[in-house]
Structure 1
């Protein structure tokens, strides 16, 4: 009986530890929590002018000045694009998490959800490398390919106070 209980306790401890977020991911989630403004979208890795549709949603210009909100107690949030002649404005709801990677920069991943927190993207989501994350600034980067050449889209945020 004692051996069974000890074995059960060990297995339960291992399972709980393996399923919980790492301290690094929790700290990043805590820093991420709150309201942010996406100040600029730029491109690295090639010269020239670029125009892209970001997150299969809107043109890159539509994201500049967009408001982002991350709630860390249930990992939901939203971003809001302002309505204009070029952009279909409104709220886009997301579920997000931070992926702690030991051999590369941590990543912010998210997928689209509806107001009732149900997945509306068929499980498709996005991952962006966290290049910098402090209490007042964040830089995210996504790697894409343009005509076979690697390009990085760089997203620069400031936290709202």
Structure 2
């Protein structure tokens, strides 16, 4: 009887520890929490002028100056694009998480779109951005895309409000 309870407790501990978030990921989640402004989008690893549709939503120019909010206690957030002749303004809601680093990448911000009732509207499709730097005042996220077979890195520079 004692042996069965020890085995059960060991298995329960293993399950709970495998589901927990590492201290590093918790720290990054806490740093994300709050309001941010996307100040600048630029491109690395290639030359020329680029114009892109970001997150299958709007052109890059529409995202500059956009407001982003991350709530860490329920992993939801939103970004708001200002209305203009080039941009369809409004709020876009998402569910987010921090993905642990692996051999192939650093920590990543992962998100997918949801509606205002927190239901998935993206059919499970989401986005991952590499966390290049993250502090209490600023963050830089990067994503790699292929343009005519060439690697281009999109750089997103945020400041905390």
TM-score relative to the length of structure 1: 0.98
Q: What's 1:36 paired with?
A: 36
How far apart are residue 126 of structure 1 and its match?
0.1
TM-score relative to the length of structure 2: 0.98
How far apart are residue 100 of structure 1 and its match?
1.1
1:136 aligned to 2:137?
yes
How far apart are residue 152 of structure 1 and its match?
0.3
Between the aligned partners of 1:77 and 1:32, the Cα distance in structure 2 is 10
Aligned-residue CA RMSD in angstroms? 0.6
Between the aligned partners of 2:106 and 2:37, the Cα distance in structure 1 is 22
For 1:155, what is the secondary structure of its paired residue? Answer: strand
Between the aligned partners of 1:47 and 1:151, the Cα distance in structure 2 is 9
Q: What's 1:86 paired with?
A: 86
For 2:121, what is the secondary structure of its paired residue? Answer: coil
Gaps of 5+ in 2: none
Q: How many residues are treated as equivalent by the alignment?
A: 160
Q: What's 1:67 paired with?
A: 67
Between the aligned partners of 2:107 and 2:36, the Cα distance in structure 1 is 19
* Divergent runs of 4+, >4 A: none
